[in-house]
């Protein structure tokens, strides 16, 4: 069998026909350049975010590429993942090995067939784009369209073997998307998927909500809301600062976008954005997001990345101090998480940390309608708050601590 960089090899045949023996012989011939999906060293006791990549941003990028881009998933251990999530994680680890050949025996055999097709599509895309050669063996014959193999091997009984060479072309799309539809949605649709979003289920006032379905199953929601009065990047995108009347009339912001974890990495995030941008009623739409830096779904949908804004150093320092107190920065966007920690803590050290944040953020942390708060005023406000209120303040601080990408779309005349 002749192998080239980026080839995808699909070995099929009846159970017991010798597929595994053939794959093992191939692995021995290829030597040290092989990463075997079944032989990777897995630390089952550490959060997965700490077990891939050389730094946090690299780990985030790797996990996002395989569809494990949910903030709550980052902190789970391997043994706490579902079968599909474990498979995706192993692919991330295999990428991290930086080997020339990726091998997998009984490929997708432990997965339901929808997940297997999604994983097949995803792994062939990743292998081809990285230049690694992918070789999988399985009794299942339903993965051919999603793998789009450049070499198709049929292993028969005994010495019988058929090898077919084809053009090496990335699969045009995952077959799972064939019967997916988008309809007008509701708050109830978002509520149903809200547990999959790193924030709580509360919503900014929506302009429009759109839902994505597959066979009657809700698998995605996007919420268009009224925009904030100010947004870093807006003037740069537009060339001027729109007034309140224009913002209320002609602008929307994508405040929530959720795709069910099972259906990630097959282009549904950008499809959900792309199709609903044309359906919603505002000519100007913006998106301010953290994950857009690592997963360019909005850019693929037609939005323009205008800028990325780094957090203020005083906010970063506050988050570091809160980490030492037991808060998890990845989960601080969750009011529930913050409240669980707050109920165990002495409030005085926490108040000192919040007072150390630059005064320009006091107004937002206190959710005050006043234009500016002095330190003595913010201190008094902190002392008066319940743990429930401070949990929301910490969620706001979490938002302020993130580097944010500002993206813009214009669908009106002159765009």
pLDDT, tens digit, 9 for 90 and up, residues 233-245: 999 999 999 999 9
**Model confidence at 329, in pLDDT bands (50, 70, 90)?**
confident
pLDDT of residue 254: 96
pLDDT value of position 369:
81
- Under CATH, to which class is 180-286 assigned? alpha beta
Whether residue 205 is predicted with pLDDT greater than 80 in this model: the reply is yes
pLDDT of residue 201: 62
pLDDT of residue 199: 60
- pLDDT tens per residue across span 112-161: 999 999 999 999 999 999 999 999 999 999 999 999 999 999 998 888 88
Each residue's pLDDT tens digit, 170-204: 999 999 998 899 999 999 999 999 887 766 567 88
Q: What is the pLDDT of residue 200?
A: 56
Instruction: Give the homologous superfamily in CATH for domain 8-176.
Output: P-loop containing nucleotide triphosphate hydrolases (3.40.50.300)
Strand 101-104 versus strand 34-36 pairing type:
parallel
Among 189-198, 245-254, 269-278, 378-387, the least confident range: 189-198
- Is the pLDDT confidence value at 404 over 90? no
What would the pLDDT profile of 58-104 be if each residue is shown by its tens digit?
888 888 889 887 767 887 899 999 988 999 999 999 999 999 999 99
Query: Which pLDDT belongs to residue 293?
Result: 65
The more confident residue out of 289 and 385 is: 385
The 10s digit of each residue's pLDDT in 121-134 is: 999 999 999 999 99
- pLDDT for 325: 93
Mean per-residue pLDDT over the chain, rounded: 91
Name the band, by pLDDT with cuts 50, 70 and 90, for residue 333: confident
pLDDT for residue 276 is more than 70: yes
Burial 285-308 (b: 16+ CB within 10 A, else e): bbbbbbbbbbbbbbbebbbebbee
For residue 100, the model assigns a pLDDT of: 95
């Amino acid at each position: 069998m002749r192998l080239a960089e980026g080839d995808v090899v699909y070995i099929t045949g009846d159970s017991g026909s010798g597929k595994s023996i053939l794959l093992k012989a191939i692995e021995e011939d290829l030597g040290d350049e092989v990463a075997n999906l079944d032989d990777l060293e897995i630390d089952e006791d550490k959060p997965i975010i700490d077990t891939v990549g050389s730094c946090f941003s690299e780990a985030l990028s790797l996990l996002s590429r395989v569809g494990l881009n949910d903030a709550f998933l980052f902190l789970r251990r391997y043994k706490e993942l579902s079968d599909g999530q474990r498979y995706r994680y192993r692919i991330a680890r295999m990428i991290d090995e930086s080997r020339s050949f990726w091998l997998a025996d009984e490929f997708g055999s432990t997965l339901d067939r929808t997940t297997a097709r999604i994983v097949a599509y995803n792994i062939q895309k990743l292998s081809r784009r990285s230049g690694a050669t992918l070789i999988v063996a399985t009794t299942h014959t339903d993965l051919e369209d999603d793998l789009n193999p450049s070499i198709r091997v049929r292993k028969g009984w005994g010495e019988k073997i058929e090898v077919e060479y084809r053009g090496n072309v990335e699969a045009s799309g995952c077959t799972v998307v064939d019967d997916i539809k988008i309809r007008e949605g509701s708050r109830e649709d978002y509520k149903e998927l809200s547990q999959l979003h790193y924030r709580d289920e509360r919503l900014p006032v929506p302009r429009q909500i759109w839902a994505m379905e597959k066979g009657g199953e809700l698998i995605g929601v996007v919420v268009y809301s009224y925009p904030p009065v100010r947004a870093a990047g807006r003037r740069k995108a537009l060339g001027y600062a729109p007034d309140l009347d224009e913002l209320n009339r002609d602008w929307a912001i994508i405040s929530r976008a959720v795709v069910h974890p099972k259906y990630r990495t097959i282009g549904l995030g950008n499809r959900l954005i792309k199709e609903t941008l044309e359906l919603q009623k505002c000519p100007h739409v913006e998106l301010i997001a953290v994950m857009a830096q690592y997963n360019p779904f909005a850019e693929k949908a037609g939005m323009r990345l205008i800028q990325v804004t780094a957090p203020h150093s005083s906010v970063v320092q506050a988050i570091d101090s809160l980490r030492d107190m037991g808060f998890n920065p990845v989960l601080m966007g969750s009011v529930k998480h913050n409240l669980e920690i707050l109920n165990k803590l002495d409030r005085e050290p926490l108040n000192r940390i919040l007072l150390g944040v630059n005064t320009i953020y006091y107004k937002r942390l206190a959710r005050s309608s006043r234009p500016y708060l002095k330190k003595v005023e913010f201190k008094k406000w902190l002392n008066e708050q319940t743990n429930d209120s401070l949990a929301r303040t910490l969620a706001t601080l979490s938002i302020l601590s993130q580097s944010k990408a500002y993206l813009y779309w214009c669908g009106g005349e002159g765009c």
